[in-house]
Each structure stands twice: as C-alpha cells, then as structure tokens.
Amino acid sequence: MGLGGGDDGPSTYGDYQLSIYAQGIFGGVKPEITTDPNKLREQAQKAMTPEAFNYIAGGAGEGATMDANRLAFRHWKILPRMLQPTAPRDLKVELFGETYGELLCKPPQQPKAHSAESPVLLAPVGVQSVYHKDREIGTASACAELKVPFIMSTASSSTFEEVAEASGDNPRWFQLYWPMDDEITGSILRSARAAGFTVLVVTLDTATMAWRPADLDLTFLPFVAGQGNTVGFTDPVFRRKFTEQNDGDTPEDSVTLASRYWIREAFSGDSHPWKDLELLKRHWDGPIVLKGIQDPRDAVLALQAGMSGIVVSNHGGRQCDGAVGSLDMLPEIVEAVGDKMTVLFDSGIRTGADIVKALSLGAKGVLVSRPVMYGLGIGGKEGAQHVLASILADLDQTLGLAGVKSVSELSKSNLRRVLYPGDVKASL
C-alpha cells in the first residue's frame, strides 16, 4: 500500500488517511494490515512464527521496562491550542548538518512530486530475515519510498551493499555492536563508509544479553545458527582471522564455530571503557551517536568524549528489566546536554502522539522499530511501508489537531504531566 490515493496524490503524510478511505469507499479495498496500534501486535502474532514474533515482541524479565516505556508516554498529555494556523505543516528536522524532509516523494503512478518530511528514523533492528523473506532490503526500500532514514543493524541479515542498493539516495546510518577486536571494528566501519552510510550509531547496552523468557522458552537465538551474522561473516578482517584460527576453514565451512567467534566479538559480555571512544573516532570521520543513554551523567560523559549525539534508549525494554522508562529521563538529559549536542529518542514509540510528546520534551528526532517490524512480519515490504506511513500520517494530523504548524515549534509548553489512577495500560 503506497502513499497514492487520489488523482493528484497526497500533499502531506496526513493525506494517507484520505487515501485509505478512498480506496475503501470507491474501490472496495480495505487495509489488509490494521491501522490500530493496539491491534497490530495481535495481527502480527497470528501471521508470524512463534519464534519470530517472540523475538521482536518480547522483552527482558517480566517486561517491567516495556511497561514503564508505555506508561511514561501516558503520563504526558498534549495540550491542544485552538485557532492556530496549522497548514501546510512542516515536519523538517536538521540532524548533523543535513536536513531531513527536503527530498521529494513521488507516489506510485503520480507525476507530481510532493514533500515527504519526517523527524522519524527507522531504528536498527537485527535479523529481519526471521520476520520476513524481504528482510532489511524490503524495509530499506520502504523507508526510501517514504524518505525515512534507515539505520542498518550490525546484526543485519543483509550486506552493506544490498542495503545501499535498496536505499538508493535515501539517508542511511549504521548501528554498531562494538567488537572487542579493534582491527575488526575498523574494517567493518570502513565497509560501512564505502557503502555510503553517513552516521555511526553505537549501541552501548548489549554487551551482555538480557534474560529474555520469550526466547528462552523456545530456545531461540538466531546468531548461534548464523542468522544475523552477515556483517561479520562478510568482513575481510573477520574472515581472515577466523580462517587463520581454524585450519583454513571459512565461516561458510564452519558456521557454528564462526558464529561463536562472532558472538564473542560483538557480544563479549563486557563493555568497552569510555576511553575507547577515541578508537572509534579514529575509524569514523562522520558523526558518532551513542545509543542506550538513560542517565544524565552518561550524557555529559558522551559530550565530553566529543560525541555528536546520543539516543535516549533502554533498548525497548529488551535489556535491563526494571529500568526507568526512557521518556521519563528525556527531560533531564535534554537539560543536561540538549543545547550542546543532538539528543534523539528511542523506546516505546507507537503513535504519532508519542512522537509529538518526545519532540516536545526536547528530542530532535525519534527512532521507531517494533510497529514497523510487525508490519514487515505481516506483509513484507508493503506491510512495513503501510505501518510507517500510518505513523507518519498520525504524526502529521496530531500536530494539526494540537494547533502546531511545525515540529520546530514544539516545546514542553505543549504538554502537561498528569497522573490518572487508572492510567496504567500495559505496553503495546
């Protein structure tokens, strides 16, 4: 399902709603994938294998951090303003010197180009081949058609070159699970740079894998069987070192041994110290963003280390169970470093209203993952694109309903923190 709907095509993401109505009323075609975020998870569970669904839907421990993420959003309420000019809405954002939203989107069979503006990025999600055969290639292509920056995971099922081809000229970033071997790290980053990835996102909270009951009960860990190891297995330095240590065998000859070697590198069980960020700066000449920051003290350390930005994130509740909701910490972190570095937000985004709240609390952009992966699992590339377009349309319309014309106008004054006794809905 594309953005097209009428003879003139949509002028904004908000018109995606009208295209859905038009296809149903005049063409008898209803959405195959729900537009209701509360029902999307349920539909994905029916469409995906239990292993695949649990891997994307599950969290750490009892899911307390996942619940905390959603509850944090529900405690902040939008304060709509009336009689405010709100059209045309401007969703452009500038991140690390590049404006996202100025590229043109041409809907299918539509000669007239329209602006596709977005403060949204697709969060890095690994092993997308588990969810659907379209894998990262399909998701990157969907993002390109919507002009949403795509962040490729180190745990990708696809190569740098495949993702680059699917992305075209759409902005693409690379997320690093940081190997312990500096030579392997440097080689991977050179390959990412050569393939046109412009921003490096370093995930900090996954050196040790969390206790994840949904995966443990099904004994499902794709990396052990070689899934999601493509970046490592195709890296020339990793291949050379593995071959030297295993009597000339390649990773393809000994997938299990190569997987264990790669897991020891990317998920070693120990964290790099802060001083090792200097090593990354030697290997990467573009912006470096640290993902997994929850404490203002760590945000200040990232600033002092010369990082370009941070992502306030608890890995969507998949790592430290019982941790604070990311949105709860966003205002403090923005206050600590927000005027000196770029602060992005991740964890718990489900709706356009969620995006408005995160931007109002100081984030310059937001990362979205689970809902889009549900769409991928249900309908491949088209499903991912439909869900992402729906979120963007919801964002566009929520801004208008709140009396806001541009995302640059958003501030904490657009919200009120309100605690209702019954406002404890669990995570989606």
Q: Catalytic positions, please?
A: 315
Q: What is the DSSP letter of 406?
A: B
89 is in an annotated binding site: no
Give SS3 for 177: strand
Rounded Cα distance, 353 and 350, in Å: 8
Beta strand 309-312 with 342-345 is: parallel
Residue 400, classified by CB atoms within 10 Å of its CB into exposed (0-12), middle (13-18) or buried (19+), is: middle
Residue 422: both structure tokens together: 């019954």
Measured distance CA(330)–CA(343) in Å, rounded: 9
Tokens 């249900």 map to which residue?
A: 378
CA 249 vs CA 185, 242, 245: distances in Å? 22, 8, 9
Would you say 347 is a known binding-site residue? yes
Give the DSSP letter of residue 351: S
CA distance readout (Å), 121 to 21, 101, 176, 367, 405: 26, 11, 16, 5, 20
282 is in an annotated binding site: no
Q: Is 126 annotated as a binding residue?
A: yes
- Consult the annotation and say whether 346 binds a ligand: yes
- Give Cβ neighbours of residue 371 (< 8 Å, ≥ 6 apart): 37, 40, 349, 350, 387, 391, 428
3-state secondary structure 71-126: HHHHHEEECCCCCCCCCCCECCEEECCEEECCCEECCCCCCCCEECCCCEEECCCC
- CB crowding 219-234: b at 16 or more within 10 Å, else e: ebbbbeebbbbbbbbb
Residues 6 or more apart whose CB falls under 8 angstroms from that of 291 comprise: 175, 201, 202, 203, 204, 205, 310, 311, 313, 346
Q: Is 348 annotated as a binding residue?
A: yes
Whether 256 has a binding-site annotation, put simply, is no
Q: Which class for 278: exposed (0-12), middle (13-18), buried (19 or more C-beta within 10 A)?
A: exposed
**175 known ligand binder:** yes
Q: Helix, strand or coil for residue 16?
A: helix
Q: Is the peptide bond before 85 cis (omega within 30 degrees of 0)?
A: no
CA pair distance 313, 399, nearest whole angstrom: 24
- Is 208 part of any known ligand binding site? no
> Does 75 belong to an annotated binding site?
no
Angle at 89 between CA 87 and CA 94, to 5 degrees: 155
CA distance 307 to 239: 30
Was 125 annotated as part of a binding site? yes
Which residues are part of a known binding site?
55, 124-126, 153, 175, 177, 203, 212, 291, 313, 315, 318, 346-350
Which residues are part of a known binding site for glyoxylate?
55, 177, 212, 315, 318
Which residues are part of a known binding site for FMN?
124-126, 153, 175, 203, 291, 313, 346-350
